[in-house]
Structure 1
Amino acid sequence: MTVARAAVKVVRLGRISYRSALKVQQQHIKQHLDSSSCSPNTLLLCEHEPVYTVGIRRAPYPPEEEQRLKALGADFFRTNRGGLITFHGPGQLVCYPVLNLACFKKSVRWYVCELERTVIKMCSQFGIEACTSPDTGVWVGDNKICAIGIHCGRYITSHGLALNCNTDMSWFDNIVPCGIVGKGVTSLSRELGRDVPTEEAVPKLLEAFTEQFNCTLIYN
């Protein structure tokens, strides 16, 4: 018996504030919870205005640290995703899959691993040898090129991945990215020694996602 491939709609949000992107995610989550079917599965693609976000895997972030980061010109948000503190900003391709895992496999561990494999496959298309590590995300050596932090409730996913393309990496100097001491961050541009805008990475990421999740992408 042939299993039908899940359909996933691709939505391009452009450059958008983190607050606005959260609202869009919440709208799509509600559509899933109000529906008895496997649709609509959606990939939200965007870049953010500078923002530092904190996940749920830590004690409350010190108010003085929050104020210090805001003084740099970035927003600051506490979120319900996994993971610790990270940065999002221009030049970083952010992908928020809002999926019903019942259409794929009802396993959060499987889902996170598939996201990692998607990015590794995409990096290989650029000639970059990326890998996983005991720490979540995708790495090139000891430098993280893509952060992954998700939320999953009733098998509906939100949040997702952030791939550094031609991000201003100095923003990461103000934090310990993802709370991992002794390791750094990198980008497609840094690894390739040339400017790699998000638009160049989008088709490769979508191709890898299609293959890894065995789905059909639908474009607006």
Structure 2
Amino acid sequence: MNKEVQILDLGLKDYKETWDFQEALFQGILDVKISNRRNEQNEPTKNYLIFVEHPHVYTLGKSGDFANLLLSEEQLAEKGASYYKINRGGDITYHGPGQIVGYPILDLENFFSDIHKYLRLLEESIILTLKEYGVESGRSEGETGVWLGVGTPFARKICAMGVRASRWVTMHGFAFNVNADLGYFDNIIPCGIRGKGVTSLHVELGIERVDEKEVEEKIIKHFSSLFEAEMVR
């Protein structure tokens, strides 16, 4: 089992270009697994953790409801935002500047064969990162992602998650609001969930800007520990 995870930091990159890049890495891992089974060989499969920031974009998961996007095509253009229906789980979400997006492309058979555990560990890596900033967070029953104020009238999501998996290979991942412009969430019903808000780390800390690279390093540290992975650059 290969527990080495290569970190790829793409900076600011178009959503569709990044999606295509993910698909290429994802398919490469699948091809190795299929070849191994056909030829009864055991070539190690690779693992990646992509960090990226996207220009304003709304994405709708395969089970999502288009009605949760509250903008017309003309209004999207006015806001400089794009829209894609994609092949992950979950409903609609927003990506944009000030948000750390993480796409783990892993062969889970290098770690464990359990999608539920995978999602819980992704959440835990964000929960532990937030704890380092003195922000208490947790899970909301039946709702994937990381939340603040669960069980109160002020429940709000700080990190959305949606993944795809095939033959235990993952893609897509998490979107962590660090310095996000929360106004863009007013144009959707986030994740299809009514009556709950969204927030960003800089808002919770009451400061103008959080060091995103510092946050990334904390996520990497906790991801490495939780997945017992060796992170390489």
TM-score tier by shorter-chain length is over 0.9
Q: Residues 47-196 of structure 1: matches in 2 within 5 Å?
A: 47-61=53-67, 65-67=71-73, 68-134=75-141, 135-141=143-149, 142-194=155-207, 195-196=209-210
Q: 1:201 to 1:183 in 2, by over 3 A?
A: same
For the residues of structure 2 that align with 1:10 and 1:172, how far apart are their CA atoms?
Answer: 29
Identity %: 38
Larger Rg: 2
Q: 1:159 to 1:210 in 2, by over 3 A?
A: same
Comparing 160-169 with 58-67, greater Cα deviation is found at 58-67
CA contact (8 A) 1:139 1:146 kept: yes
Q: Normalising to structure 1: TM-score of the pair?
A: 0.93
CA contact (8 A) 1:92 1:162 kept: yes
Q: 1:62 to 1:203 in 2, by over 3 A?
A: closer
Unpaired runs of 5+ residues, structure 2, are 37-42, 150-154
CA contact (8 A) 2:178 2:202 kept: yes
Q: 1:124 to 1:12 in 2, by over 3 A?
A: same
For the residues of structure 2 that align with 1:165 and 1:132, how far apart are their CA atoms?
Answer: 18
Q: CA deviation at 1:61?
A: 4.9
**Which residue number in structure 2 is paired with residue 33 of structure 1?**
30
Indicate the SS of the match to 1:117. helix
Deviations 1:131-180 (A, max 9, x none): 01121100111110100000001111000000001011110111111111
Comparing 55-64 with 158-167, greater Cα deviation is found at 55-64
**Which residue number in structure 1 is paired with residue 231 of structure 2?**
217
Are 2:46 and 1:46 aligned? no
For the residues of structure 1 that align with 2:6 and 2:131, how far apart are their CA atoms?
Answer: 24
Q: Normalising to structure 2: TM-score of the pair?
A: 0.88
Unpaired runs of 5+ residues, structure 1, are none
**Pairwise CA RMSD of aligned residues?**
1.7
Deviations 1:60-93 (A, max 9, x none): 5589845143442201000111111110000000
Aligned length: 216
**Which residue number in structure 1 is paired with residue 40 of structure 2?**
none
Comparing 52-61 with 19-28, greater Cα deviation is found at 52-61
For the residues of structure 1 that align with 2:79 and 2:186, how far apart are their CA atoms?
Answer: 12
